[in-house]
Structure 1
Amino acid sequence: MVDQKDILLDLLTVHSAYDVQAIQRTGDFTFLSKLSGLPQVWKLNENDEPIQFIHAHDRVQSVYHSPSGDRTVVGIDREGNEKQQLYIVGAAGGAPEVLVESMEHFHHCGGWSPDGRYISYSSNRRSPGYFDVFVMDVDTKEVKQVFTHNGNCIPLGWVDEQTLFVNVKETNIDSTIHVVCLQTGNHYQIGDHDVLARYEAPVMKKDGEVGYVLTDENEETLYLSAFSIDEPDELTNLLHWDSWDIDAISLAPKEDVLAFCLNEGGMTKLGMYNTSSSEWEWVENIPNGVIGSMSWRSENALLFTLKTPTEPGDVWEYDRLSGTVTRLTFIGKFETSRNLVEPELYTYRSFDGLQIPYFMYHQGQPDNKPAIIYVHGGPESQIKAEYNPIFQFLVYQGFTVVAPNIRGSKGYGRSYIKLDDADKRLDAVADLASLAKELTDAHQVLPNKIGIMGRSYGGFMVLAALSHYPNLWAAGVDIVGMSNLKTFLQNTGEWRRGLREYEYGSLNMYSDYFDKIAPMNLSENITAPLLVFHGRNDSRVPVSEAEQLVQDLESRDRDVELIVFEDEGHQTSKIENHVALHTKTVQFLNRHLNQN
């Protein structure tokens, strides 16, 4: 008989492949995986077995192969602090050499120029909250500043050898895309200058005349549009769904087809759009799940990574000529056989009549079972139908796990994203209270055995739910969450404060409101047992957010525990910490919700 500890460890340590990148002119590709215990760059050998391609000293966050496939740039941070430094390796891989390094600053790579001579990147070296764009000659290491911005900006790629796409963040969700001439420094904007909107994933045809971009300009959802160099502010709507976002595109080498991903309620549908005829079709025989990255391996072969609720993630390939879909890697293999569950998708009516979607994971029927509500971060993120080891293990132990996309989540239109902005924050907390009632009324879960957990903004929502609706919850787990939006905004990185203020409200205008709703200031209401995790090197949510709340709760003799990972940041990247966090979480929830 398999021990439950072995089952949990198996679920937690199964690996995945993500961020696939084709190596041009070679037929090879790389992907990221934690096969060695930390995210590193891997490829397949002649026997289709994974081998480590780059041996980095810490977590690899990004990979950029040169157009000729002879060199690769990688972004590596230190102990989870997200401050990427850029390094380079040759075609054989191995240990990377320093390319761009200033350990106290962030660097965001914009990839290689088409001739393979330059890379672009942005950095906040001038000031913590200001990012400028630079171009480096990779051979001579000569650096030139080509775009100056008093805010957050990232190069998205090259139009040609002398022109860059640069993304400028305007709000927490909105951005503008500038086309920057490297010789003159002149730039122009894609889309309507007077409309606040999302603009994402620009690509340009080789003739330099026509490009494509995703936007929600004057619409609720992201759609595929075209623009021309002659009239870049005029967008042509090519492909649009009223209810769902197109959230990724990739132009084939022959430029005759655009691959696109439609986010349909947290599940991805892959389609092919013909750039000449404007006709499109779905790619068939792909398991229900989430596509995370795409890269063209050849004129007719599209690589993509796919996660499903029961598959942690692997690399797949779609062949346009045969119409076949093939799984290329088998990284996500379990050591023991698992009876993993697919979620069911429901909606419920919140306190004000708003319909809110949620995924429910359970075995058999949820009647008379304890339940865990999991709240995603962001806030403007989305729970999707992808593998989560804790969901699966809790279900295995008899819990019902519910993952909602409460108001403020993306994927359901622009208006829905903005329903929790500023002083509407507590409406999202009320969504959670309504969900607890939905679970007891519609699914007959045990009303006194409902726990709540979440990461980042989801951690804040856990604390807000415990302090504003204390009688609903039997236990809470807060992972890198905020205990007071006021102190969070005061102490978060300058590079993101303004963007977060657009979502939460500014310190100048909403300081009193933050104090009023802060879990930190309502700690006397928190009576449910609470487990708190944080990373010492978190550059987004300072560890002080956890420390101040736990210290207060301890002074009140509450049941609370804080675990700080000294070598992690906002994410939990190291496999041993990942295992420790979730093992402790399972033990805590079992103890307080009366499971074996």
Structure 2
Amino acid sequence: MEKTSPTLDQILSIRPLVGVETPQWSPDGSRIAFVSSLGGTTNLWSMPSKGGFPTRLTVSMGDVNFLASRAPLWASTDNYLSYISKKTGTDEVWLWPTDGSEEIQLTHLGGLIHSMAWSPDGQSVAVACNRNGAYEIYRVDVPSGEAHRLTEGPLYAVNPVFTPDGKHIAYVRLDDTWEDHDVMIITRDGKDSRVVAVDTDFFDYTYGKTFGTPNVSADNKTVVFRSQRSGHTNIWTAPIDGGEPAALAPEEAEQDNAVWSPSGRQVAFTSNNNGTLEIRVSDAGNGGSRAIFSPGIGVCSNLQWSPDGTAIAFRYGTPTTPADIWTVSLKDGHASQLTDASPGGGLTERLMKPEKMAFKSFDGLTIHGYLYSPSDKSQKYPGLLYIHGGPTNQFYDDLQVNVQYLVQRGYVVLLPNIRGSSGYGKVFEEANDKDWGGGDLKDAIAGRDYLKGLKYVDAENIGIMGRSYGGILSMCAISFAPGAFQAAVPISGYGDWPSLQAEMELRHNKMQVHEFGSFEENSDVWYDCSPFYKIENATTPTFVLHGEGKDPSSDASRLFAVEMKRLYKTVEYKVYHNDGYYVDAPANVRQLLLDVADFLDRYLKAG
């Protein structure tokens, strides 16, 4: 039987069954807990660590607030599995008793919870909560829920972790710009606060999650953290008692997910080379590392050591398979897949495998990316530039269902990691500072020219689209490069930075000051990087769309579309209801993809 192209519903069915949270080994190493919607609603599940059928643990786990993590964690005593939920209205820590008794709401802090950790004796948890307007560290007794505030704002204190002896808590303190971080340590009662390590000039859009948790070695002597001080985001170590930080295993790659082995002699981490993330292990202090799981393509993340230190659990997915839970043996490197979210019938085999490619931009800078093409290259197809969010983000070797659908609809899609992207060093990441819609847009136009050079691409019909920053750059293409593209689809973008200062959520405001400089001293940059003020130049047919009804929200897309209509530009506009600004609800995502493809067909295929 001839294989047919997958339908939209089939493509959207290819999604992970495990959540984005780190899989958690039980204290005895026999099971691995994870978050999943396997039963139709999101809950905690566990499965044997050697593989087997999963068991649902919670009955009604509930949701979390925007940007929050459910953060499932085992207590070392094995009597509780904790998680974060807003089922009472605000994020709180809940305990699932392993004896099957009724779940317990541990905290009653009434704020957003950023991060948390268990004490080694299982008698308390450390929580970062913004009850008082800034994130502060609390120690909460188990199971009574009595809370003790250990730090005071206004500077954010996040990512708390107990030292293995249980006597101290290490955490991260951010400065007001979220660019500088101090690794701090206090007693479990909040006393004797001191600085362990100082890191500067590393903007943290997620107020601590980019920098990471300052995990402490088993001998209580060394802490690990992320830093860009070498020019690349690497894992660094620092002595708890004071001393100069040192790179764990320096390389010209982006490192993340650092976790100590139970013995404290090794550190596992992920290494990102051009979007491929492998697992490496370093013997602490020797300056080198070795690959433990290096598949050649795909993304490894969310590492956790087994309690006996013989294996690592992690999430792993590829451009044609959703992320699943795997384990890898430290002894022989044997990897085992424990879950399988790929639908049957060989559906994932019918997805398009991207080609990694690179091209030169206007100034000679090399831009890496992914090229998705229909399998039949005997005819010409319209081209499409698909821009990622961020801009401090990148495309990886992971599943892009939106792109897969557009390829099936007959488009050649290029995903460029333009200047400003992460993953290629600090200089590259900062290359579009104070220049949004400048060099980054020229990179996109160079990508367009790359597509034009492909024999199976219709050079006269190339579009641009993206969400968030991808929507912003699409707006820039409309206003700053009229005629460069024949269709544009800015999804949940922003076009007027001076006016948005009063509307944007705090993380966006911090990012804009980092990227543009303060408005008071750099107002010209804020206006020059705002495509709203050059809409009169637009010649590109445009489809503006976004969600509304839930947090986060913004009026930016509507105002951009209204201004285009006021100036008699060709624009269509649609809102997806009962959703956040970025459109994540499954039913809305499905309709959005249909709407986008229909729009692109009308303007890129009509001829």
TM-score, normalising length: structure 2? 0.87
- DSSP-derived class of the 1:566 partner: strand
Q: Does 1:41 align with 2:56?
A: no
Summarize the alignment of residues 11-22 of structure 1 with structure 2, pairs less than 5 Å apart.
11-16=11-16, 17=18, 18-19=20-21, 20-22=23-25
Aligned twin of 1:177 = 183
How many positions carry a matched residue from both structures?
A: 584
Aligned twin of 2:498 = 486
Contact in 2 for aligned 1:423/1:505 (Cα 8 Å): no
- DSSP-derived class of the 1:179 partner: strand
Aligned twin of 2:594 = 583
Runs of 5+ in structure 2 lacking a partner? Answer: 204-210
Q: Does 1:86 align with 2:93?
A: yes
Greater shift after overlay, 493-502 or 456-465? Answer: 493-502
Aligned twin of 2:483 = 471
Aligned twin of 1:269 = 278
Contact in 2 for aligned 1:152/1:496 (Cα 8 Å): no
Q: By how many angstroms is 1:442 displaced?
A: 5.5
Aligned mate of 2:536, from 510, 524, 531: 524
Change in Cα spacing, 1:448 to 1:244, as seen in structure 2 (3 Å) is same
Q: Does 1:187 align with 2:193?
A: yes
Contact in 1 for aligned 2:5/2:408 (Cα 8 Å): no
Q: By how many angstroms is 1:381 displaced?
A: 0.8
Aligned twin of 1:164 = 169
Contact in 1 for aligned 2:250/2:288 (Cα 8 Å): no
Summarize the alignment of residues 429-468 of structure 1 with structure 2, pairs less than 5 Å apart.
429-441=441-453, 445-468=457-480
Please list the CA deviations of residues 486-511 of structure 1 after superposition, one character each: whole Å capped at 9, or x if unmatched.
Answer: 23332122365334421233232333
Summarize the alignment of residues 197-596 of structure 1 with structure 2, pairs less than 5 Å apart.
197=202, 199-217=211-229, 219-232=230-243, 234-241=244-251, 243-275=252-284, 280-284=289-293, 286=295, 288-298=297-307, 299-334=309-344, 337=347, 338-364=349-375, 365=377, 368-423=380-435, 426-441=438-453, 445-494=457-506, 497-526=509-538, 527-539=540-552, 542-557=553-568, 558-568=570-580, 570=582, 572=584, 574-594=585-605
Q: What amino acid does structure 2 have at the position aligned with 1:454?
A: G
Greater shift after overlay, 519-528 or 36-45? Answer: 36-45
Contact in 2 for aligned 1:152/1:495 (Cα 8 Å): no
Alpha-carbon separation, structure 2, partners of 1:586 and 1:93: 49
Aligned twin of 2:28 = 25
Contact in 1 for aligned 2:73/2:82 (Cα 8 Å): yes
Q: What amino acid does structure 1 have at the position aligned with 2:98?
A: A
- DSSP-derived class of the 2:242 partner: coil
Alpha-carbon separation, structure 2, partners of 1:362 and 1:72: 45
Q: By how many angstroms is 1:175 displaced?
A: 3.3
Q: What amino acid does structure 2 have at the position aligned with 1:224?
A: I
Q: What amino acid does structure 1 have at the position aligned with 2:248?
A: L
Contact in 2 for aligned 1:25/1:68 (Cα 8 Å): no
Alpha-carbon separation, structure 1, partners of 2:396 and 2:497: 26
- DSSP-derived class of the 1:491 partner: coil
- DSSP-derived class of the 2:327 partner: strand
Q: By how many angstroms is 1:13 displaced?
A: 1.9
Aligned twin of 2:208 = none
Aligned twin of 1:8 = 8
Q: What amino acid does structure 2 have at the position aligned with 1:538?
A: D
Greater shift after overlay, 46-55 or 413-422? Answer: 46-55
Change in Cα spacing, 1:97 to 1:213, as seen in structure 2 (3 Å) is same
Contact in 2 for aligned 1:10/1:335 (Cα 8 Å): no
Q: Does 1:74 align with 2:73?
A: no
Change in Cα spacing, 1:321 to 1:453, as seen in structure 2 (3 Å) is same
Change in Cα spacing, 1:389 to 1:185, as seen in structure 2 (3 Å) is same
Change in Cα spacing, 1:275 to 1:537, as seen in structure 2 (3 Å) is same
Summarize the alignment of residues 118-129 of structure 1 with structure 2, pairs less than 5 Å apart.
118-127=124-133
Contact in 1 for aligned 2:35/2:42 (Cα 8 Å): yes
Q: By how many angstroms is 1:215 displaced?
A: 2.2
Contact in 1 for aligned 2:258/2:267 (Cα 8 Å): yes
Greater shift after overlay, 179-188 or 287-296? Answer: 179-188
Q: By how many angstroms is 1:163 displaced?
A: 2.2
Alpha-carbon separation, structure 2, partners of 1:595 and 1:261: 46
Identity %: 21
Q: By how many angstroms is 1:407 displaced?
A: 0.9
Q: What amino acid does structure 2 have at the position aligned with 1:135?
A: R
Alpha-carbon separation, structure 2, partners of 1:483 and 1:562: 17
Aligned twin of 1:108 = 114
Q: By how many angstroms is 1:78 displaced?
A: 8.0
Q: By how many angstroms is 1:553 displaced?
A: 2.9
Aligned twin of 1:52 = 56
Change in Cα spacing, 1:492 to 1:446, as seen in structure 2 (3 Å) is same
Please list the CA deviations of residues 445-503 of structure 1 after superposition, one character each: whole Å capped at 9, or x if unmatched.
Answer: 32332122212222111111122112122222223221222233321223653344212
Q: What amino acid does structure 1 have at the position aligned with 2:159?
A: P
Q: By how many angstroms is 1:313 displaced?
A: 1.0
Greater shift after overlay, 356-365 or 328-337? Answer: 328-337
TM-score, normalising length: structure 1? 0.89
Q: What amino acid does structure 1 have at the position aligned with 2:448?
A: A
Greater shift after overlay, 291-300 or 89-98? Answer: 89-98
Alpha-carbon separation, structure 2, partners of 1:379 and 1:530: 21
Runs of 5+ in structure 1 lacking a partner? Answer: none
Alpha-carbon separation, structure 1, partners of 2:42 and 2:460: 40
Change in Cα spacing, 1:566 to 1:475, as seen in structure 2 (3 Å) is same
Alignment RMSD: 3.1
Alpha-carbon separation, structure 1, partners of 2:5 and 2:593: 12
